[in-house]
Amino acid sequence: MSYAAYKMKHWPTGIEHCAAGFIAHRPSDAAAFPAPAAGPAASSGADSDADSSSARRRGPTPTLVVAAANVLEVYAVRAEAAPAAEDGAAFDGVLGARLELVCHYRLHGNVESMAVLSDGAENRRDSIALAFRDTKITCLEFDDAIHGLRTSSMHCFEGPEWQHLKRGRESFAWGPVIKSDPLGRCGAALIYGLQMAILKAAQVGQSLVGEDEPTRALSSSAVRVESSYLIDLRALETNHVKDFTFVHGYIEPVLVILHEREPTWAGRISSKHHTCMISAFSISMTLKQHPVIWSAANLPHDAYQILSVPPPISGVLVVCANSIHYHSQSTSCSLALNSFSSQPDGSPEIPKLNFHVELDAAKATWLSNDIVMFSTKTGEMLLLTVVYDGRTVRRLDLMKSKASVISSGATTIGSSFFFLGSRLGDSLLVQFSCGVATSVLPDLIDERSGDIEGDLPFPKRLKRVPSDVLQDVTSVEELSFQNNMLPNSIESAQKISYVVRDKLINVGPLKDFSYGLRVNADANATGNAKQSNYELVCCSGHGKNGALSVLQQSIRPDLITEVELPSCRGIWTVYYKSSRAHTSEDNEYHAYLIISLESRTMVLETGDDLGEVTETVDYYVQGATIAAGNLFGRRRVIQVYATGARVLDGSFMTQELNFTAHSSESSSSSSEPLGVASASIADPYVLLKMVDGTVQLLVGDHSTCALSISVPSIFTSSSEKISACTLYCDRGPEPWLRKTRSDAWLSSGIAEPIDGSGSSSQEQSDIYCIICYESGKLEIFEVPSFRCVFSVESFFSGEALLVDSKGRHDDTKVSLKKEADSIRVVELAMHRWSGQFSRPFLFGLLNDGTFLCYHAFCYEDSESNVKDNSFSPAGSVDLASASDSRLKNLRFHRISVDITLREDISSLARPRITIFNNVGGYEGLFLSGTRPVWVMVCRQRFRVHPQLCDGPIEAFTVLHNVNCCHGLIYVTSQGFLKICQLPEAYNYDNYWPVQKIPLHGTPHQVTYYAEQSLYPLIVSVPVVRPLNQVLSIMADQDLVHHMDNDATSADDLQKTYTVEEFEVRVLELEKPSGRWETRSTIPMQSFENALTVRIVTLHNTTTKENETLMAIGTAYVQGEDVAARGRVLLFSFTKSENSQNLVTEVYSKESKGAVSAVASLQGHLLIAAGPKITLSKWTGSELTAVAFYDAPLHVVSLNIVKNFVLFGDIHKSVYFLSWKEQGSQLTLLAKDFGSLDCFATEFLIDGSTLNLAVSDSDKNLQIFYYAPKMVESWKGQKLLSRAEFHVGAHLTKFMRLQMLPAPGLASEKTNRFALLFGTLDGGIGCIAPIDELTFRRLQSLQRKLVDAVPHVCGLNPRSFRQFKSNGKAHRPGPDNIIDFELLAHYEMLSLEEQLDIAQQIGTTRAQILSNFADISLGTSFL
């Protein structure tokens, strides 16, 4: 293997940065459409009600921006207001709230810091400022025209001309930190630790746009940065900057910097402890001057964070590990948090808390103008009240509140929500209320403890959340004390109560994972279907957020029953509403299952069991069925077949229609029946596409429940052939597409008051017909008038935006190349899923297997409106001029979906897109075909999950009846009909379906024992111990004796210390139920850490048999004064089922040094203990050493292939050894001479070549090879670099998996392995070997894409992927890894650009896309 491909499969989920601001809407817009969901009737009733003033008090809710490594996401908070009647169940007037995705991007760089630039104006939006490694700063604003983020300015202080800023330093501990002025006048970024970059915001009225751009955007545009300049902090004598912030209440922006005058260190704390100070600089951007206006010295050395206090108080809070200090220009006060806090000599005594808490690494956010919430390093939530009188601050009060997730960031969203972002657990959206009396809280929590997503309609979703997300730390009543004289008393903090409303799932940090069989694995599966037998069991999270995450890339439904059914062409389930049934629509059972075979149709009744009733019903059963569905509010069933259609009432036919050709053609053929190719049903219309490319519409009449045929006149006249068509039903209290008309304000504003209050709950539905012609033109018509309301040229080319092209016909169309002429749209679908704020999606399937997916949005282009209104008289509302009825404000933006179908689809194929509204509580669509895939819609974003377990799927439909609740039926190409349900335990709102099993401890390492399907797992749980007990175990005995004689105060003996206690749990996944059970637990001794657990196969030299044992390596952690020791433990598994002990210890021995890795090498046991690697043979009761090798410092990972050993050292890179049986020696073949802090190592095997992969602490990946014949290798001593690559995340584990056969990869090499890796950000990806021809082709494509695609934030993918040595000496290696994160942009280009780029690099689009498909097929391991 000389070449490899890097491909992410599961993107990072651990949220590191979060911020809130009015990004996607202005504050004035948010106030315009209030939260109540029930429509005008409820809100008018609520306004008169005095109780619901809380809904008005709440004010507009900003948008949430989160960043996880290199993924940027913008969410809108959708709150559902409670109707006035049911105030009891609601919390502060809100029934539920959830996050809904606005847009998301994958960047070519990790976000180091994030701030929201906001000027607080009602009619201006906020911008996002992002900082990237070294010194790149980008400002983004939301652009309505593309419904996404657009770069508004970029600031970079890198390159040769800025080299002097580094002052000779090469490595920096962290990237740039960015903060913004509360009034939006400027932003500041700390770069290289010594320079402050000031970003000056443009004044309202000035613009960055050129003269040609219209000025209309200025009034509502976002905050923009006009220019930037640097302040050298060394000149101001503020070295060692720890944090900085802008403060409120000054005319000019004031920047307060927390810095350390002279650093101290742990050994000098006793004599030099108050080393920090704060300085406030007034920033005058026009003069570029920055005088100091006030400062405060003598702050503790452990101060690390500075918070600006909101008005009317203003000033700053300095947060230290053991104390909190308030400072402003006039007053100051402080609060000691524990007994370690000290004050400078001669200063007054500072008040102490009545409980102990440490605040290092806490995250803070202001809940109101005087209450700040801290989320501590243990996940406790503390509330600090700034008690003030007028403008002077009297004191600080801290109280405990609740416990939640260990967070990496916290932000308040509006006045009633806050968000806790976490990279160690799931991130939470929490609603808080300041006014609820404490007595209300307990029942709220109990009642709705599981109800994190209470607003979602399906009961299934309530199961997803463990009830201990917010547990009580202390009861709130204890802490109440009255002091009514102060204007803001502490009571307001005690009354704060919380409800968790939503959570974003996170599987990071992935420390280790293993690859095991699923519960419902199929032993007979072969080929690619066999892969969906496996799942990834991962150690994720930390502390109390620790969990076992079970991840599957592909869905394997739980089978209820299967029937052999050859040559099936389609299946449908239909409802039948008999008059006596009064069930709600969501829960109605299906009545009939219609199965279309090649030459006949079967009908089954879906009662208690499926019974065939083909003979007794009036369905058309002599031939195949084209489509079936319900009409007239589920009172009738329509069945369409090739030559006609039948309408049925239950099992009786009420009407039969036969289709004939248009009478306009020659009279001889008009009597002959014409075949139907496909049909689309939207109550009460049925749209038929005939074999000859014409369409007919069946119009239903609700009163008679009868259909009539009408051929729209617009299609009889035009000769253009239709390639695909569908109906879209836009339903709801207010149909969405009406809002996009140019006269929308007329229709919506007037209609509702006239209808009276009754109509608001009425469902209204508009039907539209979407048609795509063979020329590629797409048109949307109103039904039944068939007035064209939207049209767009060449839909199949997959443009990023679809805009109504009426009135903008440009005849200068580029002539497409030959390859494009053959491309057709073979299937269309449009659907809007549930949700008050949901918008419709439009899907198109092309005949080369490309799946286009668009999301509709509304954009009011004010220029076009001005033009139209100019010629219509002012009062002519009822003059329906042709231009007014068009959906002029409708636009679609393309969304990327990671679907590789790559197969030719004929235009007469069966429809493949099936839309479902409830399968196991999820909604979305199913795409059948050779690689079937589920596309689930969660939070208005697509989650794509393939289903590989049955090979190609011919047909799919949903089934809801007694025995199969919200299940599904599909037919495989082998001719089996399977009735299934989705596995309930999994959450599908993630890149991969995931199940999290809480462990309440930190998982460290997991391995898989295949014979009994057991998972041994290292878990550590924090335990609180008395301090004297801890010291007695750790130190020598004389020292303890000496300590006792000291006059230790009683207070010191009360002190406790938290110790991590380790154990190895053996978990089993129970087969039918899918529950995880702990079969056995092996505790470690006190202060003994288990470092590794592995399943090893050893050759027993006495019985001459191989034994499978579990090996555990441990280390005693007793401080630096005690020599390091460790133990090796071997356990055997018992075969018998009913025995009590599953594992029994067969061997244990202490060793010098920590045992950090174990492995089995040809029947021997290889142990890395301290700096020595020992190879031992197993006699059945003893380990005898036979060979050893001295490692440099400490081995972090061991890998073995045949008789080769690869190990990675903590500082000294990788070593490659071989083991020779006859001389029984471990010999060094080669090593890497550079220094490298290894994280994980593994062999990468490609046919007969062996490569060594290693990841390091600087987030790089290197691939080495051993070539003793090459001159550069110094006669084979040195490992040579084959490729290097910057991943941008810490890779903690590699797993070698054999690549799957793919049609394009069927080369002569069968023995080809890829490496699956997990990262600390929660991402999973793979490194796969590829052949040279593919590599050269894709590498030249990659070079083209660097320039051809506009990258978000202006980041350069090539510089991101260069090896980062962080200042260490490093000789650059070859660039032999291609980056699929960049190549993924190719499929999102329009067809013309794809063909153009392919031609420039001398290949074809089909060739490139088939390479993509082969690599993604070859690495679909799960």
pLDDT digits (tens, 9 = 90+) for 531-577: 888 999 999 999 999 999 999 999 999 999 999 998 898 999 999 87
- Cβ atoms of residues 1160 and 1109 within 8 Å: no
In sequence order, the 6+-apart residues with CB closer than 8 A to the CB of 56 are none
Instruction: Dump pLDDT digits (tens) for 438-455.
Output: 333 333 333 333 333 333
CA distance 702 to 704: 6
Q: β-pairing, 676-682 with 685-690?
A: antiparallel
Per residue in 1362-1384, pLDDT (tens digit) is 999 988 889 999 999 999 999 99
pLDDT grade for 503, boundaries at 50, 70 and 90: very high
Residue 848 contacts by C-beta under 8 Å, 6 or more apart in sequence?
823, 902, 904, 905, 1406, 1409
Average pLDDT, the chain: 84
800 pLDDT band (50/70/90 cuts)? very high
Q: What is the pLDDT of residue 691?
A: 86
* pLDDT tens by residue, 1228-1245: 999 999 999 999 999 999
Do β-strands 1260-1265 and 1280-1286 pair in parallel, antiparallel, or remain unpaired? antiparallel
Q: Is the pLDDT of residue 1224 over 80?
A: yes
Q: Are 797 and 766 in contact (CB under 8 A)?
A: no
Q: So what's the pLDDT on residue 1055? A: 77
**Rounded Cα distance, 126 and 60, in Å:** 14
Count helices and strands in the chain by DSSP H and E runs: 17, 87
3-state SS track over 317-357: EEEECCEEEEECCCCEEEEECCCCCCCCCCCCCCCECCCCC
What average pLDDT does the segment 53-71 reach? 76
Which letter, b or e, does each residue of 751-769 get, where b requires 16 or more Cβ atoms within 10 Å of its Cβ?
ebeeeeeeebeeeeeebbb
Least confident of 340-349, 503-512, 1194-1203: 340-349
Across the beta sheet with 3-10, what order do the strands follow? 1291-1298, 1313-1319, 1324-1330, 3-10, 1377-1379
Predicted confidence at residue 658, as pLDDT, reads 87
What pLDDT score was predicted for residue 1305? 55
Bridge partner list, 1145:
1131
Beta strand 1260-1265 with 1195-1201: parallel, antiparallel or unpaired? unpaired
As a whole number, mean pLDDT of residues 785-809 equals 86
Cα R_g (the chain), whole angstroms: 34
pLDDT of residue 668: 37
Percent of the chain with pLDDT over 70: 84
Residue 760: pLDDT band by 50, 70, 90 thresholds? very low
Query: For residue 580, what pLDDT band results from cuts at 50, 70 and 90?
Result: very low
pLDDT in tens, 983-1001: 999 999 999 999 999 999 9
Range name among 102-111, 706-715, 848-857, 1185-1194 with the lowest pLDDT average: 706-715
Average pLDDT for residues 322-337, to the nearest whole number? 93
Q: What is the pLDDT of residue 317?
A: 96
CA dist 1211 and 1233 (Å) reads: 11
Residue % of the chain over a pLDDT of 90: 58
Q: What token pair was written down for 106?
A: 């994958």
Nearest to 1012 by CA among 1083, 1108, 1082: 1108
Confidence of residue 1155 (pLDDT cuts 50, 70, 90): very high
* Per-residue model confidence (pLDDT) at position 757: 34
What is the DSSP secondary-structure string of 177-233? EEEE-TTSSEEEEEETTTEEEEEEEPPTT--SS-SSS-GGGGTTPBP-EEEEEEEET
Residue 466 clears pLDDT 70, i.e. is over it: no
The better pLDDT of the pair 56, 355 is held by 355
Nearest CA to 1145 among 1233, 1055, 1085?
A: 1085
The token duo for 164 is: 């002097």
DSSP 1193: S
Burial of 1192 (0-12, 13-18, 19+ CB in 10 A): middle
The pLDDT assigned to 1311 comes to: 86
Cis peptide leading into residue 509 (ω within 30°): yes
- Give the residue, 1165 or 522, on which the prediction is more confident: 1165
Give the C-alpha separation, 722 to 416, whole Å.
52
pLDDT of 1342 > 90? The answer is yes
Residue-wise pLDDT for 1060-1101, tens only, equals: 999 999 999 888 778 899 999 999 998 899 999 999 999 999
According to DSSP, residue 595 is labeled: E
Q: Which two tokens stand for residue 1183?
A: 């380990």
H helix runs in 743-837, sequence order: 744-755, 818-821
How does residue 584 score in pLDDT terms, banded at 50, 70 and 90? Answer: low
Query: Rounded to an integer, what distance in angstroms lies between the CA atom of residue 624 and that of residue 640?
Result: 9
Rounded mean pLDDT, 13-27: 92
Q: CB atoms < 10 A from the CB of 374, how many? A: 23
Transcribe 220-277 into DSSP letters: TPBP-EEEEEEEETTTTT--SEEEEEEESS-SS-EEEEEEESS---GGGTTT----EE
pLDDT band (50, 70, 90) for residue 692: confident
For the CA atoms of 1308, 1315, 106, 417, the dihedral, rounded to the nearest 10 degrees, stands at: 150
Pair 789, 714: CB distance under 8 Å: no
Q: What is the pLDDT of residue 748?
A: 43
**Residue 46: is its pLDDT beyond 70?**
no
- Residue 757: phi and psi, rounded to 5, are -75, -20
pLDDT digits (tens, 9 = 90+) for 248-288: 999 999 999 999 988 998 888 888 889 999 999 999 999 99
Q: How far is 143 from 893, CA to CA, in rounded Å?
A: 12
Q: Give the pLDDT confidence score for residue 1118 in this predicted structure.
A: 83
- In angstroms, what CA-CA distances link 647 with 84, 591, 621, 680? 44, 15, 14, 15
Place 785 in a pLDDT band, splitting at 50, 70 and 90: confident
Per DSSP, the residues of 24-38 read: SS-HHHHHHS-S-SS
pLDDT at site 1284? 96
Would you say 309 and 386 are in contact if contact means Cβ atoms under 8 Å apart?
A: yes
Q: Is 646 a residue whose pLDDT tops 90?
A: yes
- Please determine, for residue 967, whether its predicted confidence score (pLDDT) is greater than 50: yes
Q: Count Cα atoms within 13 angstroms, Cβ side, for 475.
A: 4
Q: Is the peptide bond before 784 cis (omega within 30 degrees of 0)?
A: yes
What per-residue confidence (pLDDT) applies to 679? 92
DSSP string, 512-555: EEEEEE-TT--TT--GGGGGGGEEEEEEE--GGG-EEEEE-SS-
pLDDT at position 881, please? Answer: 42
Length of the chain: 1422
Cα–Cα distance, 586 to 456 (Å, whole number): 13
Say which residue, 824 or 1097, is predicted with more confidence: 1097
485-500 burial by CB neighbour count: b if 16+ within 10 A, else e? eeebbbbbbbbbbbbb
- Residue 1307 reports pLDDT greater than 60: no
DSSP annotation of 966 reads: T
And the tokens for 986? Answer: 């999994």
pLDDT surpassing 80 at residue 1019: yes
Q: Which of 834-838, 886-890, 901-905, 1090-1094 has the lowest mean pLDDT?
A: 901-905
Arithmetic mean of pLDDT, 748-770:
54
Average pLDDT estimate for 608-627: 89
| pTM for this prediction | 0.90
pLDDT band at 386; cut points 50, 70, 90: very high
How would you classify the pairing of strands 148-156 and 801-803? unpaired
Tell whether the model's pLDDT for residue 299 goes beyond 90.
yes
Amino acid, single-letter form, for residue 129: A
